[in-house]
């Protein structure tokens, strides 16, 4: 059973460059205009300056004085995302969406060559429909497929044949392994474990000393064994905004700043559809791909960006991340009702 991981290259920035070719080749950031705005996506030309997702905009401008900044057009990005996901789903394979521009697809019990050809065809169809490039990885498991797609960016396709997973992973830095954050990586390097191959070669006693009850799972991942299935998400009656960070984020102030931008976007979407929401929640995916959510129910429905933002921050702090690395942050409103709110809404914890 092969899995493919697809990731649109610098999605928001690529859409802006597609729609305004004069931006091509320039260091570009997509960000809001407020004092606390953060970079949502940066073009590849901006990244050598340290400009990347979740970096505060003022720091990005300091690092790259000639940075071109354009405001986000979330309605456009979502429309493009719908086009892309329609292509993902046209063959009937299970699709697990990770964000607007990223997904796993279960390709079924096909040969390795056929799996790579399917991934190649999907990439070509997306480019023909949207003029956007997509990087893809193909492997027997989700983790290896994801690492493969990251390794061939931008505009690449990398397939890892069955049986080659351990050899592919072995020379990579141990920090590339799911669940190994900077602190764990430093700890491992301190005992001479610098690569995934070094980790895979540890004996049982050494692994247990480092990872405890998680040691068997870590060894499987280091050897490329990952049996987690692709899990399609069910449709929900809600409006949401998610951002997958290029680099994991630990700074709560950066997460709060992103929630502020997402709250504005969702408030605008509610107004466009003449809806108000009574439930506000956050979705947090950690560096090890574990996901948690927190939500709160408002006393009265709202479409006010400030109230949505305050409720979202309340949910974020209830998650008690304590500096944990975050790879994705999402804001969602649900329990939608038609019309504008009749009065201001406070919120109650659920």
For the chain, the three-class secondary structure string (H helix, E strand, C coil) is CEEEEEEECCHHHHHHHHHCHHHCCCCEEEECCCCCCEEEEECCCCHHHCCCCCCEHHHHHHHCCCCEEECCCHHHHHHHHHHHHHHHHCCCCCEEEEECCEEEEEEECCCHHHHHHHHHHHHHHHHHHHCCCEEEEEECCHHHHHHHHHHCCCCCEEECCCCCHHHHHCCCEHHHCCCCCHHHHHHHHHCCCCEHHHHHCCCHHHHHHHHHHHHHHHHHHHCCCCCCCCCCCCCCCCEEEEEEEEEEECCHHHHHHHHHHHHHHHHHHHHHCCEEEEEEEEEEEECCCCEEEEEEEEEEEECCHHHHHHHHHHHHHHCCCCCCCEEEEEEEEEEEEECCCCCCCCEEEC
Tell me what pLDDT residue 340 has. 78
Domain final position from 120, 136, 162:
162
List, for residues 118-160, the tens digit of each pLDDT value: 999 999 999 999 999 999 999 999 999 999 999 999 999 999 9
For position 287, what pLDDT does the model report?
85
Among residues 162, 192, 207, the one where a domain terminates is 162
pLDDT at 98 over 90: no
Domain count, the chain: 4
196 and 335 share a domain?
Answer: no
Same domain, 255 and 340: yes
Q: Is 231 domain-assigned?
A: no
- Residue 195, domain CATH: 1.10.150.20
Q: Is 96 among the residues known to form the active site? A: no
Average pLDDT over residues 279-285: 94
Domain end position, chosen among 55, 74, 93: 74
pLDDT band at 233, cuts 50/70/90? low
Catalytic residue selected from 16, 45, 96, 102: 102
Average pLDDT, the chain: 90
Which CATH number does the domain housing residue 155 bear? 3.30.70.270
- Per-residue pLDDT of 308-329, as tens digits, reads 999 999 999 999 998 899 989 9
pLDDT band of 350, cuts 50, 70, 90: very low
């Amino acid at each position: 059973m092969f899995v493919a991981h697809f990731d649109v290259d610098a999605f928001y920035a690529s859409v802006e460059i597609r729609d305004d070719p004069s931006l091509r080749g320039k260091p570009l950031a997509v960000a809001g205009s407020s004092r606390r705005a953060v970079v949502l996506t940066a073009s590849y030309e901006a990244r050598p300056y340290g400009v990347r997702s979740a970096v505060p905009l003022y720091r990005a401008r300091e690092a790259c004085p000639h940075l071109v900044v354009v405001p986000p057009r979330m309605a456009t990005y979502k429309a493009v995302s719908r086009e892309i996901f329609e292509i993902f789903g046209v063959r009937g394979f299970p699709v697990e969406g990770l964000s607007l521009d990223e997904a796993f697809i279960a390709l079924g019990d096909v040969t390795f060559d056929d799996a790579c050809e399917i991934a190649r065809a999907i990439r070509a169809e997306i480019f023909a429909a949207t003029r956007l490039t997509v990087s893809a990885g193909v492997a027997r498991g989700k983790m290896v497929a994801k690492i493969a797609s990251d390794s061939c960016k931008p505009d690449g396709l990398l397939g890892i044949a069955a049986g080659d997973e351990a050899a592919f992973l072995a020379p990579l830095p141990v920090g590339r392994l799911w669940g190994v954050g900077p602190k764990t990586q430093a700890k491992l390097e301190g005992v001479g474990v610098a690569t995934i191959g070094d980790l895979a070669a540890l004996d049982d006693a050494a692994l247990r000393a480092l990872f405890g009850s998680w040691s068997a799972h870590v060894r499987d991942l280091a050897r490329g064994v990952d049996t987690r299935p692709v899990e399609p998400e069910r449709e929900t009656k809600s409006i949401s905004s998610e951002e997958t960070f290029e680099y994991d984020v630990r700074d709560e102030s950066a997460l709060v700043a992103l929630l502020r931008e997402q709250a504005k976007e969702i408030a605008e979407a509610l107004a466009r559809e003449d809806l108000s929401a009574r439930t506000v929640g956050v979705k947090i995916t950690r560096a090890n791909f574990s996901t948690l959510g927190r939500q709160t129910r408002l006393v009265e429905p709202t479409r006010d960006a400030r109230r949505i933002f305050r409720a979202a921050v309340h949910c974020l702090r209830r998650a008690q991340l304590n500096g944990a690395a975050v790879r994705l942050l999402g804001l969602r409103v649900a329990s939608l009702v038609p019309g504008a709110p009749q009065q201001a809404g406070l919120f109650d914890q659920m």
